[in-house]
Amino acid sequence: MKRAPAALALLALAASPAGAQTGTRGPGVARKRGPATAREAAPSLDALLAQAQAAAEGGRTEEAARLLRTAAERFSSVRALLQLGHLQAAQKDAKGALASLAQARALAPNSEDVLSTYAQLALAVRAPAPAIGALEPLTRMCPSVGRHHYLLGVALMQAGAIASSVDALRQARALEPDRPLTLVALGLALNNRKLYAEAREVLLRALELEPANVEGLAALAESEEGQGELAAAEEHARRALDQAEANPTANLVMGMLRMKQERHADARDALLRALAADPESPKALYLLSLVYARLGEETASETYRAAYQKQLRVVEERVERIRREGGLAGGGERQ
């Protein structure tokens, strides 16, 4: 996303052609001065959006952002705020993107487009709590839209609320039974709950639909490792790593397999790769504490054990905060 134009093509989603000017003057008619003329001279909303799109496509991102802010302030424009949020997200300004979309949500709290866009950008910048806050009402407003339940399940999984995530993803699957993204996400959530047999069935279906799906292959390897099918787990983990060598789930599986084979140095290397790809993974931190202990490196083992315990507290506090804000129902979550 270093180059603006590709990401900023999203600005075209809501922009419409510049509005035509109204009214004509014949030659010799004097132009009146005063407030009315100033208003007429000010660009319309459509004109500002068109100028912002042109600036973004030309790589002039600061100018595009300025024009969109002007449009949002002058016209209380939800379209301008949505486009500004996309622009800021493309520039890796997560805080700014969420702030712009929060303004859009305040102007149009019941807009499906606003809530969905807000949630997707929140997930993209790993801010699950705001995403859940938008998706909970969205799934109630549009209960038959599988994609909204899928996004809610992903947000809950990202937050660490795994049991609630499974429920949301099962609902998404009921609405869209053959959507690979939904099936893979459900498989990952079921693995987190150690429901490996159900996860394996779901993931096999996902791979029937999309055989080269990297996340599906890695998740299937995790299910197989959990069921003791070690040869199959290694085969699928290797197939995933052949396509994406940094895949965190596949590296995690390889680390677990190498630990069972007592190849502790190789296990450490695989788990470090898993952690580098997913620095918030409690499981990778925990396994690293074990493998360093087996390597006789007690200081490193204690460091990773402390990091694991800290990450568990972070997850628990985040889930509790979401529950207090009304984003979760029911009892406690166990990781």
Among the residues of the chain, which ranges form H helices? 4-8, 35-41, 45-57, 61-75, 78-90, 94-107, 112-124, 128-141, 146-159, 162-175, 180-192, 196-209, 214-226, 230-243, 248-260, 264-277, 282-294, 298-324
Both 102 and 77 in one domain: the answer is yes
pLDDT score, position 121: 87
Residue 143 belongs to domain with CATH number: 1.25.40.10
Both 72 and 96 in one domain: the answer is yes
Asked if residue 287 is part of any domain, the answer here is no
Domain termination site, one of 93, 108, 123: 108
Asked if residue 96 is part of any domain, the answer here is yes
pTM: 0.78
Both 172 and 159 in one domain: the answer is yes
Q: Phi, psi (5° rounding) for residue 150?
A: -60, -50
Asked if residue 84 is part of any domain, the answer here is yes
- Indicate the range of 237-241, 248-252, 291-295, 327-331 predicted with least confidence: 327-331
- Domains identified in the chain, total number: 2
Asked if residue 206 is part of any domain, the answer here is no
Both 55 and 99 in one domain: the answer is yes
Percent share of the chain, pLDDT over 70: 85
Both 91 and 55 in one domain: the answer is yes
Tell me if 165 sits within 8 A of 157, measured CB to CB: yes
Asked if residue 57 is part of any domain, the answer here is yes
Domain termination site, one of 74, 91, 108: 108
* Residue 62 or 35, more confident: 62
Asked if residue 3 is part of any domain, the answer here is no
Contacts of 113 (CB under 8 A, 6+ apart): 82
Asked if residue 6 is part of any domain, the answer here is no
Asked if residue 260 is part of any domain, the answer here is no
Tell me if 93 sits within 8 A of 125, measured CB to CB: no
Model confidence pLDDT, tens digit, residues 213-239: 999 999 999 999 999 999 999 999 999
CB atoms closer than 10 angstroms to residue 64: 25
Confidence of residue 194 (pLDDT cuts 50, 70, 90): very high
Both 173 and 115 in one domain: the answer is yes
Both 100 and 129 in one domain: the answer is no
Provide the residue range defining the domain that includes 145: 111-177
